[in-house]
């Protein structure tokens, strides 16, 4: 089963639909595929609502990573934006944002990994 799903966030069964107001419907890209989300959501929320669970890979073990603590502590949710690693659970989604899965080979990722595992 693929970890990526092109389903629209606006029709996701994971979303609460009653008694809630949302921001503007926007589009973003993850690994070159287009998805939708709502303004005001975090990247992690946008990815999860689009049924994306794989956010990147552990720089040491190569194991897949995704949302874990959802409060900016574990860094399991790191994704790449403009060649910078950001915590998907802390960074807001925005119109046209281009996001990539965190990769093992980027210098930032390697530096971050060596700093967090000492």
Residues engaged in binding ligand FES (CB under 6 A): 67-70, 72-77, 87, 89
User: What is the C-alpha separation between 82 and 74, in angstroms, rounded?
Assistant: 22
User: What is the C-alpha separation between 52 and 67, in angstroms, rounded?
Assistant: 10
In the complex with ligand FES, the residue whose CB is nearer, 8 or 68, is 68
Q: How far is the CB of 79 from ligand FES (least distance, A)?
A: 10
Q: Cβ-count burial of 8 within 10 angstroms (0-12 exposed, 13-18 middle, 19+ buried)?
A: middle
Q: How many residues are recorded in the chain?
A: 118
Q: How far is the CB of 56 from ligand FES (least distance, A)?
A: 11
In the complex with ligand FES, the residue whose CB is nearer, 9 or 48, is 48
In the complex with ligand FES, the residue whose CB is nearer, 36 or 75, is 75
């Amino acid at each position: 089963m693929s970890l990526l799903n092109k389903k629209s966030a606006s029709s996701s069964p994971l979303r609460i639909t009653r008694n809630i107001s949302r921001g503007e419907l926007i589009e973003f890209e993850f690994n070159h595929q287009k998805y939708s989300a709502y303004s005001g959501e975090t990247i992690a929320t946008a990815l999860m609502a689009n049924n994306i669970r794989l956010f990147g890979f552990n720089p040491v073990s190569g194991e897949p990573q995704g949302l874990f603590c959802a409060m900016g502590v574990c860094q399991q949710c790191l994704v790449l934006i403009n060649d910078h690693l950001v915590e998907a659970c802390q960074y807001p989604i925005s119109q046209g944002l281009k996001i990539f899965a965190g990769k093992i080979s980027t210098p930032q990722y390697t530096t971050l990994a060596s700093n967090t595992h000492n």
